[in-house]
Structure 1
Amino acid sequence: MKLIGIEEHFLTKEVSSAWRAIGLEARDPSVAYHGGQMERRLLDLADERLALMDESELDVQVLSLTTPALHDLAPESVELAQRVNDAIAAAVVRHPTRFQALATLPVALPDEAAEELERCVRTLGFKGTMLCGRVGDRNLEDPAFAPIFQSAEALGAPVLLHPRTPDKAVRTAYYSGFAPMVDASFATYGLGWHYDAGIQFIRLVLSGTFDRLPGLQVILGHWGELVLFYAERLAAMDRVSELAHPVAHYLRNNLYVTASGMFLPHYMERAASIVGTDCLLFSTDFPYQYRHGRDARLFLDNCGLDEPATAAFAFANWMRLTGA
């Protein structure tokens, strides 16, 4: 059975240099996570990556620029995004049966980002895009970012909402008071990243984004970034939200959920009960969640779904979503 991982990351030396040039590591501790072996694996788009894919029996990686992508870069990000996307398009051409791609966008410049998304989908054959939460002090439902989401809906291109580090004021209030490394991990991969990504999706819902753009499809990693586990509480807002539909409607009609290497059948069962098995997507969150051996394939073989639903999870839902 074909196995497609839809949240598999890369980095380029140029992007890493651009982060360092603006001192981003001082504001976003996750930048420091991209060193050593992790950096080597992120930078590699050839032999080592393919070998690790073979080891885990993953047939296809859908490549996306790792967090925080270009969200903190402004004027220079347009040409930088173009160069990144052209480089990834070349990697896909070299390995067309192994790689697909999500567009890297200059999100601080939404009109240009919308144009780049269209170029990536129509000209380069990319499958969608990935956004990493807040841009400066603006959340993604800010009207300024409407051109990106309008373009995504018009193109039929899904938007993966990836975690990024919460704002410093939030980290200080909720994720500080321990040793520096504990504070950083608590605010990022321990918990903060995932609340942040889930909140971005709920803000899109509450702002009426999906009422205005009913065809827009969003993907959340890590089995829904905590959102699905509080679906019943979110539904309580129906009496005050003044949306066109109950919150449950948007969870079922505008949201896909992916594993991100969290190979936990009971999490998948919860996700399926909310969004349906036709909206489950496979991913390993390479290289962050990478484990040696056949973990990816073993999870697929033992996930508890029947054969048609397993095939949908493994590859068919992604192919239907992206028209592949």
Structure 2
Amino acid sequence: MRIDVHAHYWTEDYLDLLVALGKTDTGTQRGMGAGGGEELEARLRLMDRAGVETQVLSASPQLPYGEDRDKAVAAARFVNDQYAELVAQRPDRFRAFAALPLPHVDAALEEAGRALGDLRMAGVTMTTTVLGRALVEPEFEPVFAELDRRGAVLFLHPAGNNACSPLIADHHLTWMVGAPIEDTISIMQLITHGIPVRYPDIRIINSHLGGALPMLLQRADNQYQWEAPETPGLPSEIARRMWYDTVGHGHVPALRAAIDSFGADRLLLGTDFPYESGDVFVRAIDYINDPKIDPAEAKAVLDQNAAGVLGIG
């Protein structure tokens, strides 16, 4: 079953709620083809053209994060209800990851219970930081504990905050460079803090082939004992407890590096729709069948792994 685990969906109504929550960058998501109505029908036609049976929708990076608790909760409930309604209308084509009203952990736990229980959503999505705070900060520990208790899927996506670096922000590198840097930092934080070891029942999916991690695993193995000695094992082994989507903009050498570093069984099809659309969307799937990729590995990545992680099939 061909499942795309990295696909976005935003309506104008939801984005307006985020503006009320203090977001200033929702223009990035408007008018891109990721909404309902005719945009949704066009998406389905593109999915058919590319042979994608199901997309797992997520609102990240535009998640209902904000210091105003009531507004964050209202936005989270709105988008989760909206997603659940769409999945109910088209269960043959869509699943969805739930959004949480962070940094309000008590409210996030309540909404996770509602979304994963009552709404039967496929998992939860978070960004790699929450309002600039690392996910491994102690305040977020109860979220990991609850997701582990439920054996939930957690899809992580960059926040688009330039990794809090003016060297990225001030030089027009937010998404070209900043996003995969965010992925890399977040994954290494999860590894050095032992999140996949301490919470083994969370099925963590990281974005964009793991950022730069395929190039850094041996370096991390060589250096973690003196720089991060509390890491509970080899970083390369802990990294293989998680999964990684294939959003690599059709770059076969990057895909090859991820397969060699993590194993083909740890990669899940992702397209990053609507940022990759039209012919680029089709290429996001087709490049996995490149001659440089073993056909058995390609088949696992395209048609087998995601169903197992998500419990679909």
Identical residues among aligned pairs (%): 25
Give the TM-score normalised by the residue count of structure 2.
Answer: 0.89
Which residue of 140, 143, 162 maps to 2:138? Answer: 143
C-alpha separation between the residues in 2 aligned to 1:158 and 1:79? Answer: 23
State the Cα distance separating 1:261 from its structure 2 match.
Answer: 5.4
Counterpart for residue 221 of structure 1: 207
The verdict on how the C-alpha distance between 1:294 and 1:228 changes in structure 2, with shifts beyond 3 A counting, is: closer
Helix, strand or coil at the partner of 1:237: helix
State the Cα distance separating 1:304 from its structure 2 match.
Answer: 4.2
Which residue of 59, 76, 79 maps to 2:74? Answer: 79
Q: Is 2:301 the partner of 1:313?
A: yes
C-alpha separation between the residues in 1 aligned to 2:284 and 2:196? Answer: 33
Counterpart for residue 230 of structure 2: 242
Which residue of 18, 37, 41 maps to 2:34? Answer: 41
C-alpha separation between the residues in 2 aligned to 1:303 and 1:8? Answer: 26
Helix, strand or coil at the partner of 1:164: coil
Helix, strand or coil at the partner of 2:200: coil
Counterpart for residue 282 of structure 1: 269
The verdict on how the C-alpha distance between 1:288 and 1:261 changes in structure 2, with shifts beyond 3 A counting, is: farther
Helix, strand or coil at the partner of 2:139: helix
State the Cα distance separating 1:110 from its structure 2 match.
Answer: 1.6
Counterpart for residue 14 of structure 1: 13
1:39-87 residue CA offsets vs partner (Å, 9 max, x unmatched): x434457312212212222211110003131123541222321221111
Give the TM-score normalised by the residue count of structure 1.
Answer: 0.86
Q: Is 2:161 the partner of 1:166?
A: yes
State the Cα distance separating 1:174 from its structure 2 match.
Answer: 4.2
Note the 1:73-222 alignment, pairs <5 A: 74-75=68-69, 76-166=71-161, 170-176=164-170, 183=171, 185-186=172-173, 188-222=174-208
C-alpha separation between the residues in 2 aligned to 1:303 and 1:195? Answer: 29
Q: Is 2:64 the partner of 1:64?
A: no
Counterpart for residue 265 of structure 1: 252
1:254-275 residue CA offsets vs partner (Å, 9 max, x unmatched): x211112522222222111221
Counterpart AA for 2:57: L
Query: Does the Cα contact within 8 Å between 2:97 and 2:124 map onto a contact in 1?
Result: yes
- Coordinate RMSD, CA, aligned: 2.3
Query: Does the Cα contact within 8 Å between 2:11 and 2:34 map onto a contact in 1?
Result: no
The verdict on how the C-alpha distance between 1:8 and 1:129 changes in structure 2, with shifts beyond 3 A counting, is: same
C-alpha separation between the residues in 1 aligned to 2:199 and 2:60? Answer: 27
Deviates more, 1:88-97 or 1:228-237: 228-237
Which residue of 252, 255, 264 maps to 2:240? Answer: 252
C-alpha separation between the residues in 2 aligned to 1:114 and 1:222? Answer: 27
Where does structure 2 lack aligned partners over 5 or more consecutive residues?
Answer: none
The verdict on how the C-alpha distance between 1:122 and 1:262 changes in structure 2, with shifts beyond 3 A counting, is: same
C-alpha separation between the residues in 1 aligned to 2:289 and 2:261? Answer: 22
Aligned pair count reads 307
Structure 1 residue runs of 4+, over 3 Å off? 42-46, 303-308
The verdict on how the C-alpha distance between 1:121 and 1:304 changes in structure 2, with shifts beyond 3 A counting, is: farther
The verdict on how the C-alpha distance between 1:289 and 1:167 changes in structure 2, with shifts beyond 3 A counting, is: closer
Q: Is 2:40 the partner of 1:54?
A: no
State the Cα distance separating 1:101 from its structure 2 match.
Answer: 0.8
C-alpha separation between the residues in 2 aligned to 1:296 and 1:203? Answer: 28
